[in-house]
Homo-oligomer: A and B are copies of this chain.
Amino acid sequence: MRLLEERIVQDGLVLGSGVLKVDTFLNHQIDPQLMEEMAIEWKKRLEGVPVTKIVTIESSGIAPALMLAKLYGVEMVFARKQKSITMDDSVYTADVYSFTKQVSRTVTISKQFLSSDDHVVLVDDFLANGEAALGLCDVVEQAGASVSAIAIVIEKSFQPGRKKLDDRNYHVESLARIETLEMDHIEFIHE
């Protein structure tokens, strides 16, 4: 998606060791117009795919997931990284290891929000090692629901996540696929 790639080149900061900071439009400050454009692009790419629910993980997935849910006219559920005090024990959980933060976290979704009839599009801001995406797939499949697609904003294609998801035959749609991430040079994959 050219608009997103241009924004990454213009505003993104490469911090070294494969970390891309996009706090100006995605991870801290959010550009609502860009979120809507991204949702429109995902929906276009997912034409014909059944969608009854959008699922993401707090916090940076919420904004793009909400815009996509709005376009489809379906509800959005965000998995929690910490159990909320208002959650009871009827939950699906999966452990997700974050290589960036070097901690393992339990992602949690209440059972009442996923059913075996659901066709889910998962949304996440980054795809790197694929741990978060696989954890969300696990949670959705525990409910007997199906993962229709995995919608990613920025894929670090030089890290193993994309391959892991492809190997399991998930339908992945990444709006920007980064092949090379260097201080002064970002290169994208175009198919």
A residues neighboring B (CB under 8 Å)? 13, 15, 19, 21, 23-25, 27-33, 35-36, 58-59, 62-63, 66-67, 69-70, 73, 75-78, 80, 84-87, 100-101, 109-110, 112-113
A66 contact set on B, CB distance < 8 A: 30, 32, 35, 62-63, 66-67
Interfacial chain B residues near A87, Cβ < 8 Å: 23, 28
Binding site secondary structure of chain A:
mixed
Task: Please indicate the chain B residues that have their CB under 8 angstroms from the CB of A113 in the complex.
Answer: 23-24, 28-29
B73-A23 in contact (CB<8A): no
CB < 8 Å neighbour of A62 from B15, B62, B69, B109: B62
| CA gap between A59 and B61 in the complex, in Å | 10
Contact of B63 with A28 in the complex, beta carbons under 8 Å: no
B19, B24, B76: the one contacting A29 at CB < 8 Å is B76
Please measure, in the bound complex, the distance between the C-alpha atom of A66 and the C-alpha atom of B60, giving whole angstroms: 12
Chain B residue numbers with a CB within 8 Å of A31 are: 75
